Amino acid sequence: MYKPKIFYFLSILVFGSLWTCKQEDVPKIFQPSSAHESYIHGLGQANLLHTQLGRQFVAAAEAALTDPIEVETPYQEFFYLHPEIPKAFGYKFFARRGEKVNIQINPNPQDSTILFIDLYRIEEEQSDPLMEHIASADKESLTLGFEPGSDARYLLRIQGELLHGGQYSVSIINKASFDFPVTGKDRRAIGSFFGDPRDGGRREHHGIDIFASRHTPIISPSAGSVRFAGEKGLGGRVVWLRDHEYNRTIYFAHLESILVQTGDKIEKGDTIGTVGNTGNARTTPPHLHFGIYQRGPIDPLYFVANQNPKLKKLKADVEKVGKLGRLNHSQALDIISGDTTFLLPKYQIVKIEAAFENQYRVRFSDNHYGNIDAHKVEPIHKPINNLEEYVGHFLYQPGKNSIILDTVETPTAYQVLGIDQDYRLVQNSNKQIGWITQPNVL
């Protein structure tokens, strides 16, 4: 029997549709971009992501990115991760092209937990700044090292796994990626900088001038190959060096003597010549013109000159980190997270979150935090006064979600350890510590 061609087309469409419907829907393989992302995926697989702890973990990770602590490098602090309260720390800092940034996290030997350490570059040229994840620290070494490709702000996030914690230190140190090229000198010997006008403003200075006595040795800050060594143009006696590691060209000019030859392979620290004033520097004191080129001239200052090479001495007591403290007198405090100033009363209770230099970063029950001089915070073990014949609830913390530890039904004496608004931190005869509501008692 004759069947119209349209029957065959419909048959193909129907059977094709049935075949398509029976194909298995294979999920894509999860490929995490970091150990932190893999950990969150694992929480989801274990049905823990939507528990209270799981939600707190994710919220803490996001808060560290949206509300980081701004620090100036070099920077070091001691911080505490509470095993029962998910927390992440975010540090925002600035780094320049030419610097080498080293980040090191050290745990207390008595504490052990997996730390997730992630580094982001902040793309501030956007109207809404974006963050690009660029590196994660190895879980064993807990270190990160990098050299910025351009001047930029970076954000470091540190977070521990759930139900583990302890005390840690973090240091962020920026230093020049090259050794200083003139023996015995440092940035104080630089007398002219990149971009300074030359020839009455007709051109710019494409390097830095390092002044030193004639014949002072000039050393190579990097291993490389000598592309040219000899007399040439305005630079007088010059050396052009191709850096092996980053494929940059390094230029040394106005040398008194040249100790290498074109084609030589040299190592970092080799002497390539001595300081002079040859070429168009004949009328100036002896100095080295030092330049770096990579698709054009680069400001070499931060490649060779450390800006703040030393960490400030830590004077705050790190043993108090992670513990409660109280203010030893009333004072105004700038609240970092709230961008405002609070007048805090004497005996105000604070949680000591971190220690750096001679200060503590302290957090309050409303989750605001600020920095305060370490000598203005004292331990809470010595009672302020006694509170007698009080009947009420013994609470774990201020707030609507306070956990009741004990219901006091008979007159009970307490030792007052500190205050927080209408709450008093107290201790009973069993050495049990908690909060009670009792205004205007001090």
Residues with Cβ within 8 Å of 401's Cβ and at least 6 positions away in sequence, in order, are none
Question: Does 20 score more than 60 pLDDT?
Answer: no
Structure-token pair, residue 206: 């494409």
Q: Is the dihedral of CA 124, 125, 130, 134 positive or negative?
A: negative
Do 42 and 160 have their domain in common? yes
Residue 22 falls inside a structural domain: no
Q: Quickly state the pLDDT bin for 434 (edges 50, 70, 90).
A: confident
196 shares a domain with 105: no
Which residue is it, tokens 């007709």? 202
| Residues 350, 365 within the same domain | yes
- For residue 411, being part of any structural domain is answered with yes
Q: What is the pLDDT of residues 123-168, one digit of tens each?
A: 876 666 789 999 999 878 899 999 998 999 999 999 999 998 889 9
Query: Are residue 329 and residue 237 in the same domain, yes or no?
Result: no
How far is 236 from 121, CA to CA, in rounded Å? 42
Domain end point (choices 151, 176, 201): 176
Q: What is the CATH number of the domain that holds 198?
A: 2.70.70.10
- Indicate the residue among 343, 361, 378 that finishes a domain: 378
Given a contact cutoff of 8 angstroms between Cβ atoms, the answer to whether 108 and 318 are in contact is no
Domain assignment present for 3: no
- pLDDT exceeds cutoff 90 at 410: no
Please indicate, yes or no, if residue 416 is contained in any of the structural domains: yes
Based on the fold, state whether residues 46 and 115 are members of the same structural domain.
Answer: yes
Whether residues 229 and 256 share a domain: the answer is yes
Same domain, 323 and 197: no
Name which residue leads in pLDDT, 430 or 252.
252
CATH number, domain containing residue 338: 2.30.30.40
User: Does any domain span residue 417?
Assistant: yes
Domain identity same for 273 and 240: yes
Number of domains within the chain:
4
CA gap 23, 16 in Å, rounded? 11
pLDDT tens digit sequence for 331-357: 888 877 666 788 899 999 999 999 999
Same domain flag for 141 and 241? no
229 & 266 share domain: yes
For residues 393 and 267, membership in a common domain is answered with no
Query: pLDDT at residue 361 above 90?
Result: yes
**332 found inside a domain:** yes
pLDDT in tens, 221-234: 999 999 999 999 99
Q: Same domain, yes or no, for 138 and 251? A: no
Residue 409 lies in a domain: yes
Decide if 420 contacts 346 (C-beta within 8 A). no
Tell me the three state secondary structure of residue 196. coil
Q: In sequence order, which residues have a C-beta less than 8 Å from that of residue 416 and are 6 or more positions away?
A: 383, 384, 385, 386, 387, 424, 425, 426, 441, 442
What pLDDT digit, counting tens, does each position of 184-209 carry?
A: 999 999 999 999 888 777 789 999 99
Q: What is the CATH number of the domain that holds 138?
A: 2.60.120.1090
Q: Locate the DSSP E strands across 345-427.
A: 349-356, 359-363, 369-373, 377-378, 385-390, 393-395, 404-407, 412-420, 423-427
Report the alpha-carbon distance of residue 161 to residue 113 in Å, rounded. Answer: 7
Of 335, 424, 344, 440, whose CA–CA distance to 384 is shortest? 424
Residue range(s) defining the domain that contains residue 136 = 35-176
Q: Residue 321: is its pLDDT beyond 90? A: yes
- Which one of 349, 378, 407 terminates a domain? 378
- Report if residue 5 sits inside a domain: no
